Structure 1
């Protein structure tokens, strides 16, 4: 069974597949309930596909908002009623009296939180608002963050812990770019977005530092399509918003959005 499951996933994902399959089998065979850390969409897809393979297991997802990217899962035997279970999530509300505070971006908050020694799995979505920031966090680190997060990007901040019902979500901000490309290959589009040469973008791709839709992609010739999300370690991420018509010279018009 394990080898059959492995065949569907990238070798780099095997460690997570093992862990997720253990949660599923423990729920189905030993009646255990598991509350996971925050999972990215790819991990969520893997876990859901494994749950679907077991007739006696169910899963509940929660990320704080309807379109949350990162979510916690509760894996349980199918006779459990999970709707009222505590998913152990809180909202860390961050504010400041400094004017420069309003220019802070998603990456600034992420860096400040991870800089306190917090693992990425303890943090859900980060919602940058007009007057502050709401971060979905695991309940067991909320107090620690509230006491220790005193600055973001050299700007003094104050914090407050809110229940999940107090979350104010924000729309993802994208900086749009449009250009023409000879093909829809990953390396070509990524090179244009990052403003690196085609040869320099090959290094992170072949090193496994590039993900397409949260899945490691090591093939530079991989073809991108509408809606694909590409993340490049050290260079952020972008989304293919639209692949338009061909130019007279046979090049593709393409619109991408860089996450800011």
Structure 2
């Protein structure tokens, strides 16, 4: 069974697959309830795929609001009412003295700079004068006590119930490119504004993800809706793929997260 499961996932994902399979097995066999850290969309997909293989297991994914990208998983035996269980989510509110110019990376860097794992932090919402970060209940007080500044600005913090979360709309710079094919290396090099030869290094090193899954094939074809992250260059989404032009090129709508 394990070898069959491995065939569906990238080799680099095997450690997480092993961990997720253990959660599912413990829920089915030993009736254990497991509440995970925050999972990225790819990890959540893996957990959901494994849970769906076992009819004796129930699964709930929750990141504090319906469109959350990073979510905690609650895995238990099928007779448990998981909707009534506490997901143990809190909102960490950080209010900088000078919020001007602070972005997602500044808040993320300040939080991770405290030595906590990425899995303790869910989605981060940068608002006009503050930030609301979804965090685990277990780490909320620690983060609130120790987060005293963001960027070069001092900041005050407080812990709020998840119902007080204020969401920020993802900011996206949209533009159109013209490419000879829908290959990953071609589109990524245009979006990141580097040569195709330079984009090959991060792709082959596993530092490029398509829909949160490592993609090491430069010739992989992208389609509308795909989200691509390139370590060191940020993240973008293929919004639409137009018809071929008279010169045999594709017009591709791109949304780059800023």
TM-score where L is the length of structure 1: 0.97
How far, CA to CA, are the matches of 1:102 and 1:176 in structure 2? 23
1:72 and 2:72 correspond: yes
How far, CA to CA, are the matches of 2:187 and 2:77 in structure 1? 45
Q: Is the 8 A contact 1:90 1:163 kept in 2?
A: yes
> Which contiguous aligned blocks of 4+ residues in structure 1 show a shift greater than 3 angstroms?
none
1:248 Cα deviation (Å)?
2.1
Q: Is the 8 A contact 2:91 2:162 kept in 1?
A: yes
Q: Is the 8 A contact 1:24 1:50 kept in 2?
A: yes
Which sections of structure 2, spanning at least 5 residues, go unmatched? none
1:89 Cα deviation (Å)?
1.1
Question: Match for residue 117 of structure 1?
Answer: 115
Question: Match for residue 171 of structure 2?
Answer: 173
Paired residues for 1:236-247 under 5 Å: 236-247=234-245
Question: Match for residue 44 of structure 1?
Answer: 44
Question: Match for residue 216 of structure 1?
Answer: 214
Q: Deviations over 1:107-144 (max 9, x none)?
A: 11111111111111111001111231100001111111
Query: For 1:54, what is the secondary structure of its paired residue?
Result: coil
1:186 and 2:184 correspond: yes
How many pairs are equivalent? 258
1:146 and 2:162 correspond: no
How far, CA to CA, are the matches of 1:151 and 1:211 in structure 2? 31
Paired residues for 1:218-237 under 5 Å: 218-237=216-235
How far, CA to CA, are the matches of 2:103 and 2:97 in structure 1? 16
Question: Match for residue 205 of structure 2?
Answer: 207
Q: Is the 8 A contact 1:33 1:76 kept in 2?
A: yes
Q: Is the 8 A contact 1:102 1:132 kept in 2?
A: no
How far, CA to CA, are the matches of 1:37 and 1:26 in structure 2? 17
Query: For 2:66, what is the secondary structure of its paired residue?
Result: coil
